Amino acid sequence: MNKLWMIAVSAVILMSSCIDKKESKEGEKPVSVIFETDMGNDVDDALALDMLYKYLDAKKINLLAISTNKKSENSAGYLDIMNTWYGYPNIPIGTVEGGSDIDNQDNFVRATCELQEDGKLAFERTVKNFTDFPKSVPLYRKILAAQPDASVVIISVGFSTNLVQLLDTPADEYSPLTGKELVAKKVKLLSTMLGRFVDSQPEFNVICDIPAAQKLVQEWPTQMVISPYEVGDMILYPGSSIENDFNWKTPNPLVTGYINYLQMPYDRQTWDLTSVLYVMEKDKGFFGSSGQGTVSIDDKGITTFAPSENGKHSYLKVTQQQADTIKQYFVDLVTQKPLKYQN
């Protein structure tokens, strides 16, 4: 590889990894994001959410809402703890109706929600009762209806349940449009972690609600960029960072979640982080692309891709060199001290 080219790429990466903690560049409009997560199944969701808070600190995004598609009160409770701890207690959190019961463990979010110090819960909450969380689908409709056209990016890193329920909604007090019409009008991109294209194996986010995943790829009306299993599988967040880089404040709900997910120390795949990274840094050359096409999902949850100039889908690819660069970017970003704790 040409040495001058390598130096230029390194310079770009260095600049992109040093996120401005005060504000985005003048004239640069923040990205409006809704985060759809199965928080509680895997700790990469928590790391992805940490990234979003760091972009909030830098005024690079407006985080309009967080929606959980996991059937667990602790999932919503953990999200509320994270919002509160990072200094964004007013971000609304939606909860799923009729969610999947497959592999419905919630060990790390439960451990964080139940952690006590001196006989009291260790982490402050803003929403005191689970019944006070709104349901995800009407929350989507309310928020989308109030946004400018083609302005919202949805980052989905869990099951497709809430999204397909949204597509099926009729007109209501928030909008005269159907769900599919509302999405087509207000959403400019869906960045989602699902599927795997290298080995014809089913992927977790798909198999937990196969009918919803099938309907999503068949009927979602906007462009969809998929980060498949094989991308995050190449990029491991180091457990050594969790052990060594967060000692400035304890307890920390991200760290508490990580150490209660698997036996430490362990490095964990960054599946969900890649969907966030694509949205925020898609012009930085972190990823390759499949090109445009159409994704199909069979009844066993196997995803396939057919290239097509008119297709609305594409999926991300990474080389080993890109994976190494992305890993360092993740560590640099996640280990930044949140703005709330910088003074």
The closest alpha carbon to 23, from 59, 54, 51, belongs to 59
User: In the prediction, which pLDDT does 97 show?
Assistant: 97
Q: What's the gap between Cα 36 and its chain centre?
A: 6
- CA Rg value for the chain: 19
| Coil, strand or helix at 242 | helix
Q: Which CATH number fits domain 23-334: 3.90.245.10, 3.40.50.10190, 1.20.1260.10, 1.10.490.10?
A: 3.90.245.10
**Which segments in the chain show pLDDT lower than 50?**
1-24
User: What pLDDT was estimated at residue 27?
Assistant: 58
| CA count, 13 A, side-chain hemisphere, 329 | 30
pLDDT value of position 25: 52
Number of C-beta neighbours around residue 285 at 10 A: 13
Tell me how far CA of residue 187 lies from CA of 45, 184, 190, 233, 284, in angstroms.
22, 6, 8, 28, 23
pTM value > 0.75: yes
pLDDT tens across 15-57, in order? 444 444 444 455 589 999 999 999 999 999 999 999 999 999 9
Q: Do residues 80 and 65 make contact, with C-beta atoms less than 8 angstroms apart?
A: no
Distance (Å, rounded) from C-alpha 167 to C-alpha 184?
A: 10
Give the pLDDT of residue 101: 82
Pairing of strands 268-269, 288-289: unpaired
Does residue 75 sit in helix, strand or coil?
helix
* Domain segments of the chain as ranges: 23-334
